[in-house]
Amino acid sequence: MSTTPDNPCAPFSVGEARKAVGDLFKHNPMIYWIDFIACWAVGMFIYTHGRTYAAKLYLTDFDIWKVDWMYYPTDTSTTWILYITFTIVAALLYYRIAMFIHEIVHMSGRTMIAFRFFWNAFCGILFLAPSFVYYPHLDHHRRRHYGTDRDGEYLPLARRSPKQIVLFMLHPLIVPPLVFARFLFFTPLAWTIPGFRKFVHKRCSSMIIDPTYCRQFSAPAAERMFYLQEFFCFLWLLALVTIVAVTKHTLPWPFFIQSYTTAVIILTLNALRTLGAHNWENDLGQMSFEEQLLDSVNYPQNPVIGELWAPVGLRYHALHHLFPSIPYHNLGIAHRRLTKQLPADSLYHNTSQTTLTRQLVDLWKRAKKSTQNEH
């Protein structure tokens, strides 16, 4: 059972924990490549079929899609079932490959340079989520920033009204069009208006949950990569708009419907995962390392289901905060070693929760109780 920071924090030895997992910090490139390419290829195939069923459901003029309808069911109810099935499966696969962004921002130096480039080219740019938007995540791992105003990935939701949780879960509905506008319209404006460039950088270039967060400027080399990835996102959207304008006077609704639906599913899953990643108790400023660890949650049980809603090792979030450099394919091994080798009274044993559902219900109850205490 996960323990909240309200409980006393016992002394914790990072050195002792590191001895148990010292050989697990090396990345295995083969695992990354096979995992990503397999999920990407299958996801693209299934997504294309889902778009075809979206076209059948929503369009009457299919010339642009060149679809031979004899191979597809004519019964509407069957088409709906297939459309929903293909969309959900494609979203789960896309969600997994998208979450490699979490691994990428934790890679330092020249670690797996080719994979990072490939991921941005075939996922980050296509999904309008290039790796530069997630680098503020590193502030979430700085001990002086965690849970403070400098942490864009933290909100004291357990200390606020449950309405805040509901509002948080509504953001997946509006993010897709906002991201579209950010890269297609804001990007060229930012290139020509210096003041607007600062606004876009600080307020519109981070994958965070705190709307008040302001991104800081980075080193020149990092800024150049920022601009390059931004440029290719703009080119990708410009190409889509140009193709529509040249080939068809009406919008390709099946593509938009399938893309929006898939994006909403991905963002909703990630929002649920985010709510379950922490206890969200801190509203008092800087926390001790022990408090930060106890505020984070592991889900070692139900690995198959866990990898669906928290892929690429994200279900071991407390462990990740303890050792951010351990690659995702070694987190399960690391958790089992720590559970076995650390003393019985180690606070690490209090970081695990059984299911996401239980954690979310607990968060709701704590938020509701906090609101009642204020009144």
pLDDT in tens, 172-186: 999 999 999 999 999
Average predicted confidence (pLDDT) for the chain: 90
Q: Which of 282, 268, 298 is nearest to 153 (CA)?
A: 282
Residue 355: closest CA among 273, 283, 285, 281: 273
Q: Are 263 and 176 in contact (CB under 8 A)?
A: yes
Length of the chain: 375
CA-only gyration radius of the chain, Å: 22
Residue at 7 is within a domain: no
What the block records as the tokens of 98 is 């998208």
- Whether residue 175 is contained in a domain is answered as yes
Query: How high is the pLDDT of residue 285?
Result: 86
| 1 domain-assigned | no
Query: CA angle at residue 156 from 150 to 161, to 5 degrees?
Result: 140
- Model confidence, pTM: 0.92
Range of the structural domain that residue 277 is part of: 14-371
Closest CA to 290 of 359, 350, 358: 350
pLDDT for res 248: 67
Q: What is the pLDDT of residues 183-206, one digit of tens each?
A: 999 999 999 998 999 999 999 999
3 domain-assigned: no
Structure tokens at 65: 């899609």
Q: By CB neighbour count within 10 A (0-12 exposed, 13-18 middle, 19+ buried), where does 295 fall?
A: buried
Provide the pLDDT for residue 244.
83
Q: Name 179's Cβ contacts closer than 8 Å, sequence gap at least 6.
A: 128, 129
Residue 2 lies in a domain: no
Looking at the domain assignment, is residue 8 inside a domain? no
Is residue 305 in a domain? Answer: yes
Look at the chain and report how many structural domains it folds into: 1
CA–CA distance, 343 with 264 (Å, rounded to integer): 43
Which stretches in the chain have pLDDT values below 50? 1-9, 60-70
Locate 180 and state its tokens: 């579209």
> Long-range contacts made by residues 303-306, C-beta under 8 angstroms, separation at least 24?
303/332, 306/356
Q: State the Cα–Cα distance between residues 63 and 248, nearest whole angstrom.
A: 9
State the Cα–Cα distance between residues 47 and 257, nearest whole angstrom.
12
What pLDDT score was predicted for residue 65? Answer: 42
Please state, as a whole number, how many other Cβ atoms lie within 10 Å of the Cβ of residue 346: 18
Any domain includes 5 = no
